[in-house]
Each structure stands twice: as structure tokens, then as C-alpha cells.
Amino acid sequence: MIYLDHAATTPVPKEVADAMYAVLTEQFGNPSSQYQLGLDMKKKVEDWRKTVAGSLGCEAKQLFFTSCGTEGDNWAIQAACWQNRHLGKHIVTTAVEHNAVLEACKWMEKQGYEVTYIAPDGNGGITAEQVLSAVRPDTALVSVMMVNNELGNVYPIADIARGLTVKNPKTLLHTDAVQGFLKVPFAAKSLGADFITLSAHKIGGPKGIGALYIGPRVRNPRPLLAGGGQEGGLRSGTEATAQIAGFAKAVELRTDHLADKLARMADIKAYAVETLSAIPDLTVIGSGAAPHILSVALTGWPSQNIVNDLSGQGICVSAGSACHQGRPSHVVAALDLPKRTAGSVIRLSFGPETGKADIDACAAALRHHHDTRMPML
Ligand code: PLP
């Protein structure tokens, strides 16, 4: 199998699975239990928290484990709006966020909030000025993703944070860093965002575990789940200990020689751009600087047919996040591309283990698709 869909999810290395297995079998204690098995697990969970927090550049007490990136996004939006409920009912976000943010914003609209959706340029770019110009005295929250999951565009979170201190210092800033964490360099402490969402399964960790960074400007954050008082009383529920162990192990593995891994991924992306661009009717979509995401369009050939054809040959790529019943995703739709191009976009995404041979095989399959199938758009 040739796996070119690391932005969807990543393979779990054996070391991660082993760490999880040990927790599931031998170290299965509940961190709230008062005997040694539980106390040991409590200490371990705090060690794992330190590992993840260290890689994010924040203090362990600022990092809260969640069940996934979607949960972190939802929690951040609700917590920010709750803190600023007396400031106003306005949110600024972008039209190209993950649905975890967009749907949470739509829910806030039902609660009487007004949401401004910043549109990207034709390459998926969004500037800090665009975002800041939409901020008003009643803006409770700005939520802008760090890296777009379909295009790989990197958005200027630090610039937005700096600008907010002038435009409206009370507005809270959330960034969905699910695709940015350990892919583009940043540290929570210097970034200036009040909330940062992470998800483990994009970096070699298991599915079903994520984290939310909550910064010092968030006072008495609104608990997501009330109950037994876990996660500092903000997200009750017995800790997903095996998942957390896997998350920490994945972080440990990924951060080892991280700069080399990112450079290799960037090289693979450059190689993919060069190799795929030689295919007739193929164009690169977006101007993504992230090293692991590349979208291309084989103009005229429907994305889902390409995905199916490649899948039959054991090659996994995605039709964006994705082509919903033949319609382009909301991200591709926001680019205002010609209809034939928009319907033909596929996403390739890479991991540290992706090699040039994977790209060559994908390029050959795409060329074959182009040469043997009729364009239908
Ligand atoms: N945000 C972005 C940018 C993503 O790419 C994803 C997953 O694809 C999510 C949020 C949701 O993360 P999870 O699958 O952990 O809920």
C-alpha cells in the first residue's frame, strides 16, 4: 500500500502501540484510585502531560487532554464566548476552517451570535490584516486555523495575536493547530493564542485523544464536562490513560530529529510538485507552505473517480475533506476556481516515512488515469 493521506490520519508506530498495550494490560489503574496502582498512573499521566506540553512550549498545567481535535475546537469556542459574554456576540473566523470550527460557529449563530467568515484569496491565502479588519469592539473570539488541512496554507497566527492587542485586547484568540502541531515551528508561549487545539492521530498517535492549551488570559475557563474533577476540574471523566500514553510516545518519537523529518517532508513535497506538474492538465492548488500537504487538480477528471482508481491500485489519496456527494469541499469552493478545476481536486499528504518511490507510483497512476479515462467535467 502507498499511503499518501497523512493529513487524514497517520500510522501508529510499534513503540506507540507497545506503550498503549502496557497501560491497557499491566498499568491499568485509574489515576483517581488511592492505592499504588492508581497513584502510579496519576504520576504517569502527569509525566505524559509534561511531554506533550513541552513539545507545545507551554506549562503542563495549561494543557488539558480531550477526546479529539473536534472536542478541543468546540470547547475553545464555547469557553471563549462564555468568558466574553459581556463583551459582545461577534465571532471572526475563516471560510476554510475545519468543520469542527465551522459547525461550532454555526451553533453559536443559533445562540444569537454573528459570525464573520473571512474568505481566502484564490490560492487559499488569508492575511492578518483581513482578519483584524473584521474585529469589532463586540468581538468575543477570533478563531483561525494554523495550517489548512486541505491546502497546506499556513496562516499568520502570531501576527493576528499581535494585532489583536491593539484592535481589541479583550478578544480571545483560538487556533486549530491540528495540522500545524509538529509540522510548522511554533511555541504556545510566544504565539499569543489563548486556545490551541491539538490531535494525536495526525502525528503518529492513536485516534481518540487530543489536547487543548488554555492560556493565562482565560480566567476560570468554562468546564467542558462537569463530574469527578479530572483535568483540573475542567474536563471530568476518567482519563483515557492508554490513549494519553500513546499521544506522549508519539510526541517523543516525532520530536526526535524533528527538523530533519520536516526538511525531508518538504523535499518530498517539492519533488511531488515537480513530478506531478509534468502530467498534462494537472495544476497545483493553493500556496501551502506546510511541508506535508499538497492539493492538485487534474482538471476535467472528477476527484472521486481519481481516488477510486488509485485506491484500486493500493494508493491512498483523498478528495479533499472531501468531495461531498460530487460537490467540492467548502475549502475548494471558497477558492472560486473554475468549476471543472474545483471538481478535480485531490489532496496528497506526507509523513516522515514517505519516499520518492511513493510519489513516482502516484504520478504514474495519475498519468494513467489521465491517459485512459475520459474527462467528465
Ligand atoms: N481540525 C483540523 C484542521 C483537522 O484536520 C482535523 C482532522 O482532520 C480536525 C480538526 C479534527 O480532529 P479529530 O479528528 O481529532 O477530531
Which CATH number fits the domain that encloses residue 341?
A: 3.90.1150.10
For residue 119, being part of any structural domain is answered with yes
Who's near 2: CB < 8 A, 6+ residues apart? 314, 315, 316, 358, 361, 362
Q: Are residues 334 and 287 part of one domain?
A: yes
323 is catalytic: yes
Q: Are residues 233 and 86 part of one domain?
A: yes
User: How would you list the strands of the sheet with 293-298, edge to edge?
Assistant: 282-285, 293-298, 345-349
Among residues 255, 278, 295, which one ends one of the domains? 255
Task: Determine the structural domain holding residue 277 and report its residue range.
Answer: 257-372
For residue 4, being part of any structural domain is answered with no
For residue 3, being part of any structural domain is answered with no
Among residues 255, 279, 303, which one ends one of the domains? 255
Q: Give the SS3 label for residue 295.
A: strand
DSSP-assigned letter for residue 225: B
pTM of the model: 0.98
Q: Are residues 116 and 138 part of one domain?
A: yes
Q: Is 57 left (phi over 0), alpha (psi -120 to 50) or beta?
A: left
C-alpha cell at position 27 = 498499568
Q: Are residues 316 and 299 part of one domain?
A: yes
Tens of pLDDT, residues 78-100? 999 999 999 999 999 999 999 99
Contact 181, 203 (CB under 8 A): yes
Residues lining ligand 1, CB < 6 A? 68-70, 73, 98, 100, 145, 149, 176, 178-179, 199, 201, 210
Q: Are residues 302 and 238 part of one domain?
A: no
- How far is residue 300's CA from residue 288's CA, in Å, rounded to a whole number? 23
- Give pLDDT tens digits along the chain (377 positions): 999 999 999 999 999 999 999 999 999 999 999 999 999 999 999 999 999 999 999 999 999 999 999 999 999 999 999 999 999 999 999 999 999 999 999 999 999 999 999 999 999 999 999 999 999 999 999 999 999 999 999 999 999 999 999 999 999 999 999 999 999 999 999 999 999 999 999 999 999 999 999 999 999 898 999 999 999 999 999 999 999 999 999 999 999 999 999 999 999 999 999 999 999 999 999 889 999 999 999 999 999 999 999 999 999 999 965 445 567 899 999 999 999 999 999 999 999 999 999 999 999 999 999 999 999 88
Q: Are residues 285 and 235 part of one domain?
A: no
Q: How many domains does the chain have?
A: 2
Q: Are residues 277 and 236 part of one domain?
A: no
CATH code of the domain covering residue 154: 3.40.640.10
Question: Which uninterrupted H or E stretch holds 115?
Answer: strand 114-118
Q: Are residues 264 and 248 part of one domain?
A: no
The number of the ligand 1 atom at minimal distance from the alpha carbon of 199 is 15
C-alpha cell at position 206 = 492513536
CA of 329 to the centre of ligand 1 (A): 15
CA of 198 to the centre of ligand 1 (A): 8
Among residues 204, 221, 255, which one ends one of the domains? 255
Q: Are residues 277 and 179 part of one domain?
A: no
